[in-house]
Amino acid sequence: MLTSRVMQVLSPRVLQGVCKRQFIRKFSQTPRLGSLREQLTQTTQENGIRTICLNNPQKRNALSLAMLHALEDDLMNDEYKEDLRVIIITHTGPVFSAGHDLKELTPKEGRRHHQKVFNTCSEVMMLIQELPVPVIAKVNGLATAAGCQLVATCDIAVATDTSRFATPGVNVGLFCSTPAVALGRSVPRKVALEMLFTGEPISAQDALLHGLVSRVVQEDKLDEETMKIANRICETSRSVTALGKATFYAQMNLERSKAYKIAGGVMTDNLSLNDGIEGIKAFIDKRKPTWTHTMEKP
C-alpha cells in the first residue's frame, strides 16, 4: 500500500470521481439503447490497446448526450483490468468532433437538460484524466468546441498536418466556457483567449507549437505514429504508469513546494513497489524487466 500521506492527496479526487460516475451511470434517465450505442462508437481492443472510434460522421461526431454516455461506457469498461494498457480515441469522417449537438441546447429542451449535458461532458473529461491508463487522441480533421476540449483533455494527442482546432461558440452566441477549462490548461493564456474570443481555427502546426497536441504527422503516418506511442507505453509497468499519471495531475494543482513534497513521497513509494524494484534491478543487470503490473510490495 502507498503511504497514507500520499494517498490523502491522490485518492480522494480519484475515488470520489469514480463513485460519482457510477452513481450517474446507474441512475441516469437517459436511455442507453444497445443499437444506438453501437452506431455512435466502435470499440476494439488488442494487445492492451483499446481503440474507441467516434462513429457518427453524419452529425460530425457531435458530443450529444448519447455520444457522451457511449464514450463514458467505453472508457470505463474494465478500466482497472491489467490487460488494458492504453486507450486511443479516434473518429470516422473528416471531423474528429464538432462539439455539443446544438439541437440539444435549444430553449425547448430546458435548463435542466442543458445542465445535464454540460455536467455529463465535464464528467467524461475528468474521467479521462482519472483513468489509470494513458489516453491518446488520434485526430485527422477538424476538432471544434467540446471536440477541441476532448483533444486538450487527452494525455497525448497525435494529429495530421491538415487538422485544425477551434472554439467557435462565441460565433453562435454560446461562449466555449467549459472547453476553455481544458484549453486554458493546455496552451498559453493569450493563445486560448484569442481562440475563444474570435472562434478562428488554428492549424495543426500552431497547435503543436502551443502545446495543444504532442505530435503532428502526415496522414499516411497517423496510424503508425500513434501505434508507436501506444506500443511503447505497453512496454512499461501499468502500475507505475498509473501512479505517475495520478501524481502528475494531482501536483499540477498545488503550489510548487507542496508539489515537490508530494512527488518526492510518491517516488519513494514507487521504489518500494515490486515493479519499482524490478525495473532498477533489470537496468543494473542489463536485461528487460519482467513487470507484475500491480501495486504489490515484497
- Mean pLDDT confidence for 137-149: 98
- The pLDDT value given to residue 57: 97
- Mean pLDDT confidence for 105-115: 96
Q: pTM, whole model, 2 decimals?
A: 0.90
Among 130, 15, 148, 137, CA closest to 76:
130
- Under 8 Å between Cβ of 274 and 297: yes
- Mean pLDDT confidence for 259-278: 96
User: For residue range 230-258, what is the model confidence (pLDDT) as tens digits?
Assistant: 999 999 999 999 999 999 999 998 999 99
- The pLDDT value given to residue 26: 40
In the predicted structure, residue 24 carries a pLDDT above the cut 70: no
* Gap between the Cα atoms of 86 and 103, Å rounded: 33
- Under 8 Å between Cβ of 127 and 75: yes
Largest CA distance in the chain: 67
- The pLDDT value given to residue 53: 98
Confidence of residue 38 (pLDDT cuts 50, 70, 90): low
- Mean pLDDT confidence for 14-33: 44
Confidence of residue 39 (pLDDT cuts 50, 70, 90): confident
Which residues pair with residue 139 across a beta bridge? 159
* Gap between the Cα atoms of 226 and 140, Å rounded: 12
Confidence of residue 116 (pLDDT cuts 50, 70, 90): very high
- The pLDDT value given to residue 98: 98
- The pLDDT value given to residue 167: 98
In the predicted structure, residue 149 carries a pLDDT above the cut 50: yes
Confidence of residue 29 (pLDDT cuts 50, 70, 90): very low
Phi-psi region of 84 (alpha: psi -120 to 50; beta: other; left: phi over 0): beta
**What mean pLDDT, rounded, does the chain reach?**
91
Comparing 28 with 135, the larger pLDDT belongs to: 135
In the predicted structure, residue 187 carries a pLDDT above the cut 60: yes
- 88 in helix, strand or coil? strand
User: For residue range 221-231, what is the model confidence (pLDDT) as tens digits?
Assistant: 999 999 999 99
| 266: DSSP letter | H
